[in-house]
Structure 1
């Protein structure tokens, strides 16, 4: 295959599908390449029981509702993947699956880029990297191979039966870590959960989901993260109908909490003495949101039921251990819910800083003709969420359309 295309979109997850919709609405010829299936990461890189963290009325694109999920419910991972497949069909997105992009290089002496794929060459005037934030699983190099029977990243975890018999250490206090730890404990496993810094919003408050509160309080539209909070995870869950994550409840249910995982030597894993501080900081973010919500209700005269019990927090749980000899504790597996790193090795253009991070402004890269979509804080706090990526795609499509207009004038002169 060798073809020319105006815009090449790399990736057919939520970002790529959103990009295709806006390009199509603007009449911009384009092609979307996806190395697997549409929304593949939802299908094959999530655990079996995963559901979306936001309700179906919120975690969707404007042009299509979920047909098989109550608006206040939480879609399962297969339902989310099917939703994006249906959306792509609805908008007639020109997606080719099973084609991997191997490299993107700028043409010498003429506009555009030479894109090498597993199915030949594509010449594109513009390239949109819509591969999202979950590209390369990160496992900190702390515990050497062989120290336990099994170590795996949360993206490779599927269900409790996948793990060898024995206790499990889950590292990470975000949505993935707390949900996996809870599932493992409910299956009868002994579970240790290593808790780091996190935000802990209420699942709902005064009859409204936290997604609604973040919307009316303007928090989804924050353009930059609070100082020091660029990588702080959010502990929230849609599991079992949705509930507020509280580490006190996890501890009461038998999950043994420890601080951040720091070092390993001679079979013993050491944890930082920061569990109390991390839980206190999470509580502060939780109570702070309740304060802002209450002030919003008063300021706008909204009739929402009081919920004073939401502020009743019990004593913070104590750390189960400061160090853990894995063999003595019966720990046979570690699940690392420690996030992801970007992997743009295929994008061989001058638009990355010294740490390999994309240099861009609202998705418009420093390298002319290159765009990014789906990254955290691309333009706002909501950028990596389903609804947020749709709005960012509209901005990127508008920028491409404007540049096409300039190029057309130049070529006609």
Structure 2
């Protein structure tokens, strides 16, 4: 289909999750014509790339967009994954956003004859002046191929995990100690499985301190607004959970409850999984991060005089468990009865469908706060896109406002033809606008 025959819009937003919906609201308020295309259902990742018992890691008063509250979840409780998905459906309905589901985008090419781009989709071509990749941070499951296929071990990514019953009988090694890894390991241990948790570098904020949630403290202390991660910590995970009413993750508790802590998975040979040194270092660094938040919170209370109860017991960490001070260096999986490995090791992005100038030689987005190096292309929902909170529900809403502003400014520039006169633009079908 040629661009003359393509459906035309001003902005094409690819992705109908939290990023695409947030941007659609901002574009709608600005009166900018757009279409949001989602290849599955609205907020599909919340439905099918999460385990059954997952709840949001932050309380309902915070983990939402500003213009719609959860009407059936207490503000200090944690919404289930199904409720979060329904929240985004409700948001689309409330603002009558132009989200189309079941439409996949195969590729976007620049249209030099009419300006802008043409997207090839499963429902036909779409021509647009601007394209926004709002496919988010969780695109393709990623894990190191340490254990080869055929080794007699069932391996899945955390996005494929649903509940303990789906796994083969036997023990489990969970690799990765961020939010997903610690919750999955805890659930497996509670189900009676022998569980090993491979721990690497992580941040470990208190889930609650001095009668306030960690999201409140990170916001009040300005930590959500950090623009770049610490050097060398671009992929540091956050060990935090809303499960069981929300509790602070302490690896000592997991060890006491029966989880065996090990270092990062390093190699596999002859049935033996080997682990890196550095487990105690990473646990102590997580403790340091935890205590730093408490220190900053206490300083804030002292400085502002806000009336919040003291909580000195929060600093009583206790001794490190034996599995940390004398860690396993290797584990013979068959002898240990381990038949499953779950890789909670994150995701990688795939932007091969965008024009080549939008990504670098490794396929990573080339952008400044979501504004691509390829004119007319934008990104939304990336980790650390503009701030620490960029890939979180509330954070992506604010990033979306910035991207909408950038698109609106570009529209103004493109409407100018010189001598102070606005250009009489033509739309992407060639007719006068």
Q: Which band: TM-score by shorter chain? A: over 0.9
Cα distance in 1 for residues equivalent to 2:338 and 2:31:
57
Q: Are the aligned partners of 1:104 and 1:349 in contact in 2 as well (CA < 8 Å)?
A: no
CA root-mean-square deviation: 1.1
Cα distance in 2 for residues equivalent to 1:397 and 1:6:
12
1:196 is aligned to 200
Ranges in structure 1 where 5+ consecutive residues have no aligned partner: none
Q: Does 1:344 align with 2:348?
A: no
Q: Does 1:289 align with 2:293?
A: yes
1:143 is aligned to 147
Q: Does 1:73 align with 2:85?
A: no
Q: Does 1:11 align with 2:11?
A: no
Cα distance in 1 for residues equivalent to 2:9 and 2:322:
59
Q: Which moved more, 1:12-21 or 1:400-409?
A: 400-409
Q: In the TM superposition, what whole-angstrom CA distance separates every residue of 1:72-118 from its partner, at most 9, and x where no partner exists? A: 00000000000000001101110110000000111134310010001
Counting only pairs closer than 5 Å after superposition, residues 23-102 of structure 1 correspond to structure 2 as 23-102=27-106
How far does residue 354 in structure 1 lie from its aligned partner after superposition? Answer: 2.3
Cα distance in 2 for residues equivalent to 1:232 and 1:353:
22
SS of equivalent to 2:56: coil
TM-score for the superposition, normalised by structure 2: 0.94
Cα distance in 1 for residues equivalent to 2:271 and 2:116:
54
- The structure 1 residue matched to 2:235, chosen from 227, 231, 252, is 231
SS of equivalent to 2:331: strand
SS of equivalent to 2:358: coil
Q: Are the aligned partners of 2:227 and 2:384 in contact in 1 as well (CA < 8 Å)?
A: yes
1:280 is aligned to 284
Counting only pairs closer than 5 Å after superposition, residues 298-377 of structure 1 correspond to structure 2 as 298-319=302-323, 320-377=327-384
Q: In the TM superposition, what whole-angstrom CA distance separates every residue of 1:328-357 from its partner, at most 9, and x where no partner exists? A: 111101000000011111113312122221
Aligned residue pair count: 413
2:424 is aligned to 412
1:21 is aligned to 25
SS of equivalent to 2:356: coil
Counting only pairs closer than 5 Å after superposition, residues 99-110 of structure 1 correspond to structure 2 as 99-110=103-114
How far does residue 378 in structure 1 lie from its aligned partner after superposition? Answer: 0.7
SS of equivalent to 1:285: helix
SS of equivalent to 1:169: strand
How far does residue 274 in structure 1 lie from its aligned partner after superposition? Answer: 1.4
How far does residue 148 in structure 1 lie from its aligned partner after superposition? Answer: 3.2
Cα distance in 2 for residues equivalent to 1:78 and 1:148:
34
TM-score for the superposition, normalised by structure 1: 0.98
Counting only pairs closer than 5 Å after superposition, residues 109-258 of structure 1 correspond to structure 2 as 109-258=113-262
Q: Are the aligned partners of 2:351 and 2:359 in contact in 1 as well (CA < 8 Å)?
A: no
Ranges in structure 2 where 5+ consecutive residues have no aligned partner: 418-422, 426-433
1:391 is aligned to 398
